[in-house]
Amino acid sequence: MRLVATTKLVWNEERMDSYGRIIDYLRISVTDRCNERCLYCMPEGYKGWAKKADHLSAAEIIRVVEASCGLGFRKFRLTGGEPLLRQDIEEIAAGIWALPGVQTLGVSTNGVRLERHAQGLKRAGVRSLNISLDALTPQVYRTITGGNVEEVLRGIDAALGADFEVIKLNCVLMRGVNEGEIWPLVQYAAERKMLVRFIELMPVSSAGVLDESRFLSVQDAMVMLAAYGRLEALPEYRPGNGPARYYQLAELGARVGFIGALTTPDFCESCNKLRLTADGKLRPCLGRHGELDLVPALRNAGDVSGVILEAIRNKPENHEFAECYEPGRPMTAIGG
C-alpha cells in the first residue's frame, strides 16, 4: 500500500454525505458485457446492452479517477460486467495506479480470463482481487453461471502465483442451489489463505430473483457452517472497510465474511462508495434508481468534480431492496 500525504480536514467536509459518511471509494464498471450468465445477475434474454461507443474510454475513466482523487477519494475498484473482457483493462489499471492519490486498486472478476491476465494486472498496479466462485462442483457452477469452473480455478492459481496483497472469493447464496458448496468453499479458501465471503441475494437483475424459496440469509449460512466448528465474531476485523462482517472458524483458523445486505439492519451505515457505470453515470446507491450523468462534463470539458460532489450530496441513507425494489437496469450495467 502507498503512503499518501493528506489534508484530511479540508477534504472530509466535501466528501461527507448528508448522513455523516465519508465517501472515498469509487467502483468503476468498465463494461456491461459478460462472458457468463449468472442466474442472479443477468436477466434471461437481456437485450439492453449499452452501445460500445457509449462505454467510457480508458482516458475518460482515468479522468474521472483523477477528479475523484482531487476530492480525496483513495480506493478504486474495476468491475463490470466482466472487466477482463476489456482489451485495455491493464492500460486502464496502470493509468489509475499512476495517479498520485490512489491508495488501493482492486478488480472484481469472474475469473474466467484471469489465467492470462493475473501477472499483467499485478504489474499494472492492481493490489486486490475479488473473484466470484459460487460453487466448486462443476455441475453446480455451470447451473449457476453457465460457465466452466476449471477455467476459474486455473485463474485463481494464476492469481495466487502473481502474489496479490488480497484475494477474496465471493459466493452468492442460493437456497436449493449452492448451500452444499459453503463448507467446501471455506476449506478451499482456507487451504490457500484466501478470504471467502458469502453474499445474500439482492434484487439487482429483476425483483423476481429475490424469490423467498431461493433466498438464503447469511444467518442461515452461519448456522450451516457452525455444524463444522465454532464460529467466533471478529467485530474489529474489517479489511478494506467493506460491508462484510467477519467470523473465524476456530478449529480451521479460517476467516469467513458475510455480506447480508437484506438482513443486516445497519448495513448502509458505513457505506463509503459511489459507482460509475460503464456508460458514464454516477450512481450513489446500488439499491436506488438515482444516477447523475458525467458524460456531458467529460466530453465538453465541464466540471467533473462538481458532478461527483453532487452525487455525494445525493447519496441516500439506505437501499430500497426490502421495499419491492424493481431494478431499472441490471447489475452488469451498473457495476457490481
Contacts with ligand SF4, residue ranges (CB under 6 A): 34, 36-38, 41-42, 80-82, 110, 132, 145, 331-332, 336
- Tell me which of 158, 177, 331, 333 binds ligand SAM, using CB under 6 A: 331
What are the φ and ψ backbone dihedral angles of 57, each rounded to 5 degrees? -80, 170
Q: How far is the CB of 88 from ligand SAM (least distance, A)?
A: 17
Told to check if 260 binds ligand SAM by CB under 6 A, we report no
> CB-wise, 36 or 279, nearer to ligand SF4?
36
182 burial type by CB count under 10 A (0-12 exposed, 13-18 middle, 19+ buried):
buried
Asked if residues 21 and 270 have their Cβ atoms less than 8 Å apart, the reply is yes
Contacted entry of ligand SF4, ligand SAM, none for residue 42, CB cut-off 5 to 8 Å set by kind: ligand SF4
Which one of the spans 149-157, 198-206, 235-243, 282-290 is the region binding ligand SAM (CB under 6 A)? 198-206
Contacted entry of ligand SAM, ligand SF4, none for residue 104, CB cut-off 5 to 8 Å set by kind: none
> CB-wise, 128 or 314, nearer to ligand SF4?
128
Asked if residues 178 and 144 have their Cβ atoms less than 8 Å apart, the reply is yes
Q: How far apart are CA 182 and CA 118, in angstroms?
A: 26
Q: How far is the CB of 108 from ligand SAM (least distance, A)?
A: 4
Instruction: Tell me, by CB under 6 A, how many residues bind ligand SAM.
Output: 20
Strands of the sheet containing 254-259, edge to edge, are: 231-233, 245-249, 254-259, 195-199, 166-172, 128-132, 104-109, 75-79, 25-29, 273-276, 281-283, 292-293
- Binding-residue pattern over the window 13 to 52 for ligand SAM, x denoting contact by CB under 6 A: ---------------------x-----xx-----------
Told to check if 156 binds ligand SAM by CB under 6 A, we report no
List, in sequence order, every residue forming a beta bridge with 249; answer none if it has no partner: 231, 254
Told to check if 128 binds ligand SAM by CB under 6 A, we report no
Contacted entry of ligand SAM, ligand SF4, none for residue 277, CB cut-off 5 to 8 Å set by kind: none
Computed from CA positions of residues 244, 159, 27, 101, in that sequence, does the dihedral angle turn out positive or negative?
Answer: positive
Told to check if 170 binds ligand SAM by CB under 6 A, we report yes
Q: How far is the CB of 170 from ligand SF4 (least distance, A)?
A: 9
Told to check if 291 binds ligand SAM by CB under 6 A, we report no
> CB-wise, 74 or 77, nearer to ligand SF4?
77
The C-alpha cell that represents 145 in the structure block:
453461471
- How is 197-260 classified by DSSP, letter by letter? EEE---SSS-GGGG-TTT---HHHHHHHHHTTS-EEE-TT--GGG-S-EEEEETTTTEEEEEE-
Asked if residues 63 and 304 have their Cβ atoms less than 8 Å apart, the reply is yes
Told to check if 121 binds ligand SAM by CB under 6 A, we report no
Treating both helix axes as pointing N-terminal to C-terminal, what angle do 138-145 and 149-162 enclose, rounded to 10 degrees?
100
> CB-wise, 101 or 203, nearer to ligand SAM?
203
